[in-house]
Amino acid sequence: MNNKMVSLLCLTLLVVPLTQAGDLLTDETLARRRLTRFQVGNAENQECWERHGVDGFLSIIDAHNHFRPFYGPPVPWDNYMEWLHDHGILFSTMLGIGQKMKKRNKADPECCYYLHCATFDFPVTPDTSNDIENAKDYLSKYKDQPLSEQIHLIPSVTFPNLQQPENNSRNLGELEFKYQQVFKWSGEINVFKHALAANGFFENGNRVNEEYIKSGKLNSFFNRMQDVKWPTTLHCDLGCDNYDSVPLDTGCVVPQDELDLAKRNYRWWKEFLGPHFDSFFDSSNTPKQNFKKIQHLKIWDTLLDTYPNMTVVWAHLGLSKELKHLHPTVHAYIIETLFNKHPNLYADISWDVLSKQLLMNFNGANVSLLHHDIHEDFSAEIDESLVDTEGVEEMRLELEETWELHEKMVKSRGSVTGPTHAMAIYLELFHTHADRFLTGTDFVSSLGPADQFPGLVGGKGCMKDKNNHARQVTDTGSINMFLNDEAFQKIVLGGNYFKINRLEDTFAPPPVCGDSLLPMEAMIGLGVGAGVFLIIIIVVLIVFCCCKKKDKVSFIRVDGQNSATTNV
């Protein structure tokens, strides 16, 4: 029996007794998830985090958490705090949603979610009201209250309107004056959000483009963010390739003037895209049809260039339901290039859509669908070494081994089906740039009854319950199981979050014992009540595991230069 098989069997024995049929986490796990585990100078901060054992791998930080909906009531404060606690969240942003549904016709039904009434008659309009209500709750129900010793909250201003920025600074000044020392974050703020196209996103105000950014119209707010050093979450779709969920006749297009500009500036695109340039531009340097997937890249880069000292958190890796089919190798290349160019750029891996649409929705698809001869995001002359489909398949199968150990627990509360080939590709990016990612759910706290908020789609409403939250925490946190220990400590246990919030003197991630084993007594105890054969197997495995060398067991490995290794 080789070391890899032994490691898998030993880890299986660790994981099985820690699954549960009740709510998301066991009482023992919740008892160990407390702020004191993260407080600098506290002895508990040196206690090893058993990521594949009692402490678990689900996120303790939600850096993208909407405490209020687009319209209608939120989940009551006490209920929502209970959900966060019971699902193991110790640190969270307090985002509102910086836009409100404002119907134009009084006779129209009330609507609590933009896709329930995706027409220009229900424009989604930036508004400060959610931020004000969050500030009131923070001051009256959290600050200097016992709850502040159980969970760490950071309120965010989400109102800024980049399409009509004239009042951004005035509104910010009023909020800071009225709610002093409350806000320490900004965003989620929309640069490009194609999901809102049917609700007038591209019709109401200015389209953000290079000329607009360089005009200085966004300076007042973003310069303030540079000065106060608040992390700023920006939603900027990299592009789009479908409007399946957005009922807009125009569909996903690139304006002709931006296509013309891209052709004139082809040298910039060629330098940035490197080996991928020919995949998006033809021999005359004209953008191809698939250019729409990356149409906002140069605008995004211009914004980051213009405000280099602003700590930017790129929401959802720049992906969305309207951008489903960008090749993960190309996307990872773009993210890495942006990281190398912009040292203050971070990205959150928030939103269950990322897991269910891209990373953790394996359905038996053949890896050949990513091959350069088949996928539209590669030219015929592409270097075959850029997409090693055989290697990707091997990596996915190795991730599957880890998934199988946790599958029962994840599926009991989540809705994902296992690691995809894309997950195998992105994993190396997460490891190579482990200091640039944050965890988040993108959960929207909403309690709009269907009879009161029917929208235009037949009484959908926006009723969230505790199971919804558990599912989103599980789905978004499922990828954490694959991270190596270093990445896990920085991304999942807060190393990056504490850094960008300048909290490193107060909080620090505990050490990670991803390869640790339970005491022999506990291992033997697992066999109580089982058959004699099972007891014999357990005893043999204990002896084998305890007698082998104590160096780290690495059973998930990406071969080659800068290889990423997951230790469990």
pLDDT, tens digit (0-9, with 9 covering 90-100), for 523-556: 333 333 334 334 434 443 443 444 333 332 222 2
Model confidence pLDDT, tens digit, residues 243-267: 999 999 889 999 999 999 999 999 9
Q: What is the DSSP string of 223-242?
A: HHHHHHT--EEEEE----S-
Q: Tell me how far apart the alpha carbons of residues 218 and 168 are, in angstroms, rounded to a whole number.
A: 9
Q: What is the pLDDT of residues 408-421, one digit of tens each?
A: 999 999 999 999 99
374-410 CB burial, b ≥16 within 10 A, e <16: ebebbbeebeeebbbbebbbbbbebbebbbebbbebb
Instruction: Tell me which residue has tokens 């150990």.
Output: 405
**What is the mean pLDDT of the segment spanning 128-145?**
97
Find out whether the peptide bond into 188 is cis, omega within 30 degrees of 0.
yes
Pick the CATH number of 33-515+552-567 from 3.40.50.1370, 3.40.50.9100, 3.40.1360.10, 3.20.20.140: 3.20.20.140
Sequence ranges of the domains in the chain: 33-515+552-567
Q: Are strands 99-101 and 124-126 parallel, antiparallel or unpaired?
A: antiparallel
Residue in 273, 556, 275 with CA at minimum distance from that of residue 428: 556
Question: What CA dihedral angle connects 110, 116, 122 and 125, to 10 degrees?
Answer: 100
Does 334 have pLDDT greater than 90? yes
What length is written for the chain?
Answer: 568
Query: Which stretch of 108-117, 177-186, 384-393, 503-512 has the lowest confidence by average pLDDT?
Result: 384-393
- Tell whether the model's pLDDT for residue 388 goes beyond 90: no
Any idea what the Cα angle at residue 340 is, between residues 291 and 156, rounded to 5°?
85
pLDDT of residue 554: 23
In DSSP notation, 169-215 reads: HHHHHHHHHHTTTT--EEEEEEEE-GGGGGGTTTTSSPPP-HHHHHT
